Amino acid sequence: MGMTAYNGVSIPAFMYGTAWKKEATTDLVLEAVKAGFKAIDTANQLIHYDEGRVGEALVLLAQQGVGREHLFLQTKFTPLNGQDHRTPYDRTASVGMQVRQSFESSLAHLHTDHLDSYVLHGPYYRGGLGPEDWEVWAAIESLYAEGRTKMIGVSNVSAAQLALLCERAAHRPMIVQNRCYAAFGWDRAVRELCRTHGIVYQGFSLLTANREVFLDPTIRAIAETYNTGVAQVIFRFAMQIGMVPLTGTSNSRHMVEDLQVDRFTLTPVELEHIETIGV
């Protein structure tokens, strides 16, 4: 099971996220893949991620028989406003050139010659899209056109920004990766646009952004019904409403439990309750 974008490329149903793992990144990626995760998310942004250590794990996995072809690799271009002094590109270069340099550096970190998905970490502007956003998107589109990444996407995007990209870009995104708050109907407006345009929606911080959901008596009862935890109910809910969830766990038991969520199916009434839980 997985999701397929409008360009016919598929992504596994669940992703392992590598933010904030620091020096544990290599071991955790090894553990996650051994637990069964087939899709890895990272970024060329040392403040939050260690792409080089993800690459070290990939080398070890290849030596153990899990080659590049068995994994879906996604990384991001992070603009200057999301970087510290350790930028993986020339700060004075044009933003289009920064994308190129960051991409090449990602391939070197990850010991690969192509990506499955390359994502703009976030637009430069909060309202609408500015000239830098269009220049960055054009550079990302050209990487796609050259076949160097199978999908392209955007993260931390509003519905209005996504609508603009879908309307004006030569290649609209195939991936959206957003923080998903129950209080906003689990990012309903952006998810609906994604559904309309054949874009795969990835939801992150499903647990950490929704701590109040863990206290809801109905979701606790649902978890008991299926003999599982609230975290797993949230991930299962995400999949059933058409999202690819990311998990950021560092716990090997949680990795295994999270991957078992396809063992139960929530009813339409349960889905409806969770979808409107914080609204």
Ligand X SMILES: NC(=O)c1ccc[n+]([C@@H]2O[C@H](COP(=O)([O-])OP(=O)(O)OC[C@H]3O[C@@H](n4cnc5c(N)ncnc54)[C@H](OP(=O)(O)O)[C@@H]3O)[C@@H](O)[C@H]2O)c1
- Residues at the contact surface with ligand X, assessed by CB under 6 A: 17-19, 41, 121, 155-156, 177, 204-208, 229, 231, 246-251, 254, 257-258
The single-letter code of the amino acid at 38 is K
Task: Write the DSSP symbol of residue 199.
Answer: P
Question: Residue 164: left (phi > 0), alpha (psi -120 to 50), or beta?
Answer: alpha
Nearer to ligand X, 73 or 207 (CB): 207
Instruction: Give dist(CA 105, CA 111) in Å, integer.
Output: 10
Nearer to ligand X, 31 or 258 (CB): 258
Q: How far is the CB of 234 from ligand X (least distance, A)?
A: 8
Nearer to ligand X, 98 or 247 (CB): 247
Task: Write the DSSP symbol of residue 91.
Answer: T
Q: How far is the CB of 74 from ligand X (least distance, A)?
A: 9
Nearer to ligand X, 189 or 256 (CB): 256
- Report the sign of the C-alpha dihedral through residues 148, 96, 89, 204, in that order: negative
Tokens, residue 185: 């109907």
Q: Which residues contact 192 (CB under 8 A, 6 or more apart)?
A: none
Tokens, residue 1: 């099971």
Nearer to ligand X, 25 or 268 (CB): 25
Q: How far is the CB of 47 from ligand X (least distance, A)?
A: 11
Whose CA is closest to 239, among 266, 221, 214, 215?
266
Contacts 24+ apart (CB under 8 A), 27-31: 27/57, 28/250, 29/53, 29/54, 29/57, 29/58, 29/61, 30/57, 30/60, 30/61, 31/252, 31/255
Q: Which residue is nearest to ligand X (CB)?
A: 248
Nearer to ligand X, 51 or 257 (CB): 257
Q: How far is the CB of 81 from ligand X (least distance, A)?
A: 12
Q: How far is the CB of 19 from ligand X (least distance, A)?
A: 3
Q: Which residues contact 135 (CB under 8 A, 6 or more apart)?
A: 94, 95, 96
Q: How far is the CB of 92 from ligand X (least distance, A)?
A: 25
E strand or H helix that includes residue 41: strand 39-41
Nearer to ligand X, 251 or 267 (CB): 251
Q: How far is the CB of 65 from ligand X (least distance, A)?
A: 25
